[in-house]
Structure formats: C-alpha cells, structure tokens
Amino acid sequence: MASKRMMIGNTAVGGGAPVTIQSMTNTDTRDAVRTTEQILSLENAGCEIVRFSVYDEDCAASIPYIKAHTHIPLVADIHFDHRLAIAAIENGIDKVRINPGNIGSEQKVRELVAAAKDRNIPIRIGVNGGSLEKDILRKYGVTPEGMLESALSHVAILEKCGFYDIVISMKASTVQKTVQANRLASKRTPYPLHLGVTEAGMGEAAMVKSSIGIGSLLLDGIGDTIRVSLTGDPVREVYAAKRILAAVGLRSEGVEVVSCPTCGRTRVDLASIVKKVEESLPETDKSLRIAVMGCAVNGPGEAREADIGIAFGSKNAVVFKKGELCYSDKLPEVVDRFISDVKSELQ
C-alpha cells in the first residue's frame, strides 16, 4: 500500500517522495553548540533529517539555538513526558518521536495532539523489539506480530484523538524480525515507515545487518526514510545510508570505484593502485563509475561497462571510456595518466 505523504519541516516523507536519510546526534543536547556542530557535520555528509534526545527541559531549551544554526528538519526523541514533547514543539521542533501509549492519561495525549496539530508537527511512533509492553509480550513474545500490534495500539490512540500525521518505525536487533514486522506494517497501515535495524553494533557486522534489513525492504518498495544505526560517529551512518540507497538503485552512486578482487592472474599491486585512484578523487556532486581491473582477460569487460576503466597487463594497461578502447600505455606511467583522465571527467 502506498504510504501517506507528510512534511517534516520542508522535507516530504512518504507518498512516493524520495527515501530520506536520517541520523541521530550523540552529543548532550543540553550543549546546544556541540550538538549544532555535529548536526552541521551530518548535513555536510548528506543527512536530511536529524534526531536528538530531549530528556529534560534544558534539552528542550536548546532547540531554538540549534534550529537557528542548522538547515535540516529536527526531530525530538522523547520518552514518556508529554510536557517535554509540547515544549519541543513550542520551541520549533519539526517532528516528535514519542509513543502515546507510554504518556499516561488520554488527557495528556490530547494536549500533545493539540500542540502538534497547531503547528503541523508529525509524530513518529517508534517500537523497539526490546521494549514491548507487558501485555503484548505475554500474547506475542518478541515477534514481528507483537511489534506490529504494539505500533498499531499507539496509532489507535492518536487516531482516536483525530491525529493522522504519523510515521511508524519498528526496529528489532535481528534482521528477520525487523524485515517481517515492516512487511506486515506495509500491508496494514497507510503511514510512512522509518526503517532501521536497532543496536546493529559497529563495523562490518553492523553494516551487513543494516544493508540486508533496510535494503531488502527498500527493494520490495517498503520504507520512506532510513536510519542506519552504528555505534560511534553518526557521520558514518549517513555514508552507510547513502551506500544502501545507491546499492538498491534509489540514489545515484556519485563517484563509484569498482575493482576486481584480484586473483592468480593479477600482475600488479592492484590494491595500492585502487587506493591511489580513490585518494585522488576530488569532492564532487557528479556521478562517475570508474573500473580498476587486474587483468586483460576479464578486466576489459568490466572496464568497458564503466564510464572510465582501466585493465592491467604485466607491463602495460588499456584504458576505456564509455565502452570504447582509448589507449594502451606502459606501467607505471599509465596510472597517473588514468588518474588525470578521471579528474578531467569530473571537471
């Protein structure tokens, strides 16, 4: 089912809008200056929506400063306290993540809904497999069905108050449960889905989990905004998210260097050459597929598929542009000549 479109600040989410990249700061939100600096780094990396935790009134008081010095929509992550959510909205936040079922009385939910409606602020319901409600756990355990039921119970509370600007996320620490829960949700609700695998960890294992979890849903056309969770500097989350979107064909790759894994046929130190090519690339918004291949047997095929490619023999290499053989030159000079050609393509 196609999701509803809504606006997070000036950024559309859902309803066929391009899938957006989110991240979350790991600074103390009470420190508005450091949080702002981190958001600016995230923006530079390509982050399109950013979340930070608002755990007390001082955090909520940082919002006007952060808002004045940054350029992407801001999301307040709030647990339980509807007054903090209302303070965040009054201070200019663009979206709130809070689970209405955890707020308490219906009166408190109505106060939150009134503030959000007043300023057209969407609310994200965020269900984590690790913190399902007791009655859900008794009935379903930590299962995709349980995660969906939890999300739908929070949705029902907002809908009862006449509020429909809702985004849903259901994250589990296993790929299977995350994927299954979101597949179920995409059939049952019209609200945009925020995808992510929670507590993915760090390094390769985390990247694999997030790529499969988020990537397989996106390939099925499910998901409207994504956050890759990685322990450490959040800027890495943004780069990872961009790679996932590119890999599933939802974004241009930008500059992409493809290289072969090397094998017994390789007669050059291909890893060093690839590194040299990558390090020589200028900052650019252009898209270019560059192939660096280790032999003259299979290499030319891949090199021809690229915008510009090189395939190495033992003493020389051949260079292709847009599938056409351009020249053959000897090693090692051919590497610098190739790099200079790549730079011309990117000008």
- Residues interacting with ligand SF4, by CB under 6 A? 260-263, 265-266, 293-295, 297-299
Q: How far is the CB of 261 from ligand SF4 (least distance, A)?
A: 5
- C-alpha to C-alpha distance for 331 and 237, rounded to whole angstroms: 38
Is 111 or 256 the residue whose CB approaches ligand SF4 more closely? Answer: 256
Q: How far is the CB of 297 from ligand SF4 (least distance, A)?
A: 5
Q: Smallest Cα–Cα separation from 237: which of 53, 13, 50?
A: 50
Is 129 or 299 the residue whose CB approaches ligand SF4 more closely? Answer: 299
SS3 25: coil
Q: According to DSSP H, which parts of the chain are helical?
A: 32-45, 57-69, 82-90, 106-118, 134-140, 144-160, 175-188, 203-219, 235-247, 270-280, 299-305, 333-345
Q: How far is the CB of 122 from ligand SF4 (least distance, A)?
A: 49
Is 16 or 261 the residue whose CB approaches ligand SF4 more closely? Answer: 261
Q: How far is the CB of 258 from ligand SF4 (least distance, A)?
A: 11
- C-alpha to C-alpha distance for 166 and 128, rounded to whole angstroms: 17
Q: How far is the CB of 262 from ligand SF4 (least distance, A)?
A: 5
- C-alpha to C-alpha distance for 4 and 268, rounded to whole angstroms: 53
Q: How far is the CB of 246 from ligand SF4 (least distance, A)?
A: 22
Q: How far is the CB of 332 from ligand SF4 (least distance, A)?
A: 18
Is 136 or 270 the residue whose CB approaches ligand SF4 more closely? Answer: 270
Task: Report the number of secondary-structure helices (H) and strands (E) in the chain.
Answer: 12, 15
Is 132 or 295 the residue whose CB approaches ligand SF4 more closely? Answer: 295
Residue 320 main-chain phi, psi, to 5 deg = -115, 145
- C-alpha to C-alpha distance for 89 and 52, rounded to whole angstroms: 14
Question: Helices 144-160 and 175-188: crossing angle, nearest 10°?
Answer: 40
Cβ atoms 21, 213 nearer than 8 A: no
Q: How far is the CB of 300 from ligand SF4 (least distance, A)?
A: 9
SS3 11: strand
Is 129 or 313 the residue whose CB approaches ligand SF4 more closely? Answer: 313
Q: Which two tokens stand for residue 304?
A: 């021809």
Residue pointed to by tokens 């984590």: 128
Is 190 or 301 the residue whose CB approaches ligand SF4 more closely? Answer: 301
**CA neighbours closer than 13 Å in the CB half-sphere of residue 65:** 14
Is 102 or 316 the residue whose CB approaches ligand SF4 more closely? Answer: 316
Q: How far is the CB of 312 from ligand SF4 (least distance, A)?
A: 8
Q: Smallest Cα–Cα separation from 193: which of 230, 226, 220, 163?
A: 226
Is 61 or 331 the residue whose CB approaches ligand SF4 more closely? Answer: 331
